[in-house]
Structure 1
Amino acid sequence: MKFGVSDVCEEHDPGVRHPENPDRIRAIERALQKRHGVEYVTADPAIEDDARAVHDADYVEEIREFCADGGGSWDPDTVAVEATWRAALASAGLAMWVADAALDGDDGRTTPFSLGRPPGHHAVADDAMGFCFLNNAAVASQHALDTRDVERVAVFDWDVHHGNGTQDIFYGRDDVFYGSIHEDGLYPGTGEIEEIGEGGGEGTTMNAPLPAGAGDADYCLLFDEAFAPAIESFDPDLVLVSAGFDAHRHDPISRMHVSTDGYGTLTTRVRDLADRCGADLGFVLEGGYSLDTLSEGVGIVHEVFDGLVPEGPDGDAMDDAEDVLADLRDAHGLGSK
């Protein structure tokens, strides 16, 4: 794979005790050193006009000035330093590079994956939250729609937390599909099945809140039977994965049971879906707070594109996942098998 990196992203340092710290990227890069076929790419940062394409102008000015004044605690979880604004623009720029590289034909062993931070999927149009300042996936999606021959973008979010920011930015739109599998009841408390979009965007949001303890078989069931058919029907030109690895069974801030191999299996599912849609594909880093499992997760995504065939889920999905699937089918009119 091609991995987008920026030294500026490591300058955003909310403190060693903060779970979203520069060691996350360093751990990934150390792990990737042991793997074949890794290529690193740098990219231009986003500019403020790119941010304003999905964020309110007043918010962009406010967060830029907040960082210029030295930063601080924007909220109890979201901490900025002076370098945070530069890092946020760099991270958004890497996500834009993912979209451009995918649309320019990078695929297979050159599939693009941005290793940017701070992450983005909690940042709403007018506020930072959940460690996020600019919504990287949203900036990249809008960039593709505005500057490339792209009519529709699908964002599939497998981070353990619901990407409320990405959902909110595109909730009334019919040109971006947002889908999320996440832990029910976890921060930020959004992402209910009934949240399906509104107005012209009705049906272009899909949420699968799974109970704590859900694992590989549950994720695969929901993806195969709900997300894949809905995204195929949407017929995107570009698929972006908001790739958080905090649903791993050993992540410290969630209670899900996804394995490293499970992330590999999801990667094969998403890759095959993009192929069926004739869509280009790229990955944008979100969460993941165990350094070992984060680096293993990114590593297995790379290995899949280098030829690895994961074993797939062991066992059947839990009854609760079947119930979520039934409710999703009702909410989205998918029918049943």
Structure 2
Amino acid sequence: MKFGYCERCLDHDTGPRHPESPDRLRAIRQALAEKHSVEYAVADPIDIERVLAVHDETYVDEFEEFCQDGGGDWDADTVASEDTWDAALTSAGIAEWAATAALDGADGRDTPFALGRPPGHHAVEDDAMGFCFFNNASVAAQSVIDRGLVDRVAIFDWDVHHGNGIQDICYDNEDIFYVSIHEDGLYPATGSIDETGAGEAEGTTMNIPFPPGTTQSGYLAALSAVIGPAFEAFDPGLILVSAGFDAHEHDPISRMRVSTEGYGLLAQQIRALSEDIGAGLGFVLEGGYGLDTLSSSVGMVHEVFDGYEPAPDDGEVSDTATDVLDRVRAQGFAGVTE
């Protein structure tokens, strides 16, 4: 893979003991240093007009002023420093780079992966939350649409938390199909199965709230049974993966049971799906707070695109996960049969 990265993202200072720390990127870089064929691209900060295409101008101005005044606690979880403004613009810029590179034909071993922070999928149109300030994946998706590079984008969010911000921003946008697999009841307690989009965008939001303890078997079944058919019917020119790794079985803040090898299988399956429908494919880093599990999982995704074949999954889909998928099918998404 080719990774977008910039040292400026390390300057976002969340203070001691905050789970979303610069050490996340350092750990990933250290792990990737042990791999073969790792390349990096340095992306520029995003044009503020691209941010304003999805975020409220008053909020953006308040965030900039907050950082200029030295930052602090935006809310109980979300922390900014003086340098967070530039880091957030850079993180969004790296996501935009990944989307653009994918549409320019970067694939295979050159498949783009945006390694930026702060993450983005909780940031709503007019507020920061959940460690996130700019909604990187949404900004990138809207940017390539507005620039005429693609007509439709699909976002697949496998972070353990529901990406309420992506849903908030894209809920009435018929050009973006958002799918989230998340742990039911976990922060921010959004993402119900019956939330499927609004107006002309009805049927372009899909939520799969799996119960705690779901393994990669459930995730893989979701991809083959509901996500793949829905994406094929939507026919996007680009798939962006909001790639959080906090559903890992050893992540400290979740109860899901995806293994490192399981992330390799997910990457393998989403790559096959993108090839089948002729869509570009890019990854945007979201969560993941155990440094070892985060770095090993990103490394696994890289290795899959470098030719590694993960071990086949021999687990069974739990009855509770199967019930969730049956309820998703019943929502009547185009291409998805009951």
What is the DSSP-based 3-state SS (H/G/I as helix, E as strand, rest coil) of the residue aligned with 1:287? coil
**Contact persistence 1:118–1:133 (CA under 8 A):** yes
Q: CA RMSD in A?
A: 0.7
The equivalent of 1:180 in structure 2 is 180
Correspondence 1:326 to 2:322: no
**Partner of residue 107, structure 2:** 107
| Pairwise CA distance, 1:179 | 0.1
Using structure 1 for the length normalisation, give the TM-score: 0.99
1:265-307 CA distance string (max 9 Å, x none): 0001110111111000000000000000000110011000000
Q: Which residue of 2 aligns with 1:30?
A: 30
5 Å-filtered alignment, 1:78-157, equals 78-157=78-157
**CA shift at 1:323, angstroms?**
0.2
Distance of 2:332 and 2:268 partners within structure 1: 24
Paired with 2:16 and 2:258, the residues of 1 have a C-alpha distance of 26
- Report the equivalent of 1:19: 19
Residue identity matched to 1:221 = A
Provide the residue aligned with 1:202 in structure 2. 202
Preserved contact between residue 120 and residue 135 of structure 1 (Cα < 8 Å): yes
What SS does the corresponding residue of 2:190 show, helix, strand or coil?
coil
**Which residue is 2:337 aligned to?**
335
For 1:120 and 1:80, the matched residues in 2 are separated by 14
- Matches of 1:253 and 1:68 in 2, distance apart? 32
Aligned residue identity for 1:298 = V
Indicate the residue corresponding to 2:293 in structure 1.
293
Contact 1:215 1:256 in 2 (8 A): yes
- CA–CA distance in structure 1, aligned partners of residues 6 and 148 of structure 2: 24
Partner amino acid, structure 2, of 1:168: D
Q: Which residue of 2 aligns with 1:267?
A: 267
1:308 matched residue in structure 2: 308
Paired letter, 2:155: V
Amino acid at match of 2:312: G
CA shift for structure 1 position 148: 3.3
2:320 alignment partner AA? D
> Which amino acid in structure 2 is aligned with residue 198 of structure 1?
A
The range that moved more, 157-166 or 40-49, is 40-49
Runs of 5+ in structure 1 lacking a partner? none
**Cα shift at 1:181:** 0.4
Distance in 1 (CA, whole Å) between partners of 2:247 and 2:112 is: 22
Structure 2 counterpart SS, 1:298:
helix
SS in structure 2 at match of 1:93: helix
CA distance in structure 2 between the aligned counterparts of 1:335 and 1:113, rounded to whole angstroms: 32
Deviation at 1:16, TM superposition (A): 2.5
Q: In 1, Cα distance between the equivalents of 2:61 and 2:187?
A: 27
Amino acid at match of 1:39: E
Opposite residue 79 of structure 2, the aligned amino acid is V
Q: Secondary structure at the match of 2:233?
A: helix
Q: Deviations over 1:140-172 (max 9, x none)?
A: 001110113310000000000000000110101
d(CA) in 2 for partners of 1:76, 1:196: 29
Match of 1:219 in 2: 219
- List alignment gaps of at least 5 residues for structure 2: none
Output the amino acid matched with 2:60.
V
TM-score (norm 2): 0.98
Residue type matched to 1:90 in 2?
T
* Distance (whole Å) between structure 2 residues aligned to residue 95 and residue 287 of structure 1: 14
Secondary structure of the 1:240 match is: strand
| Separation in structure 1 between the aligned mates of residue 332 and residue 251 of structure 2, nearest angstrom | 31
Query: Percent identical across equivalent pairs?
Result: 62
- Given that 1:48 and 1:60 are in contact with CA atoms closer than 8 Å, whether structure 2 keeps it comes out as no
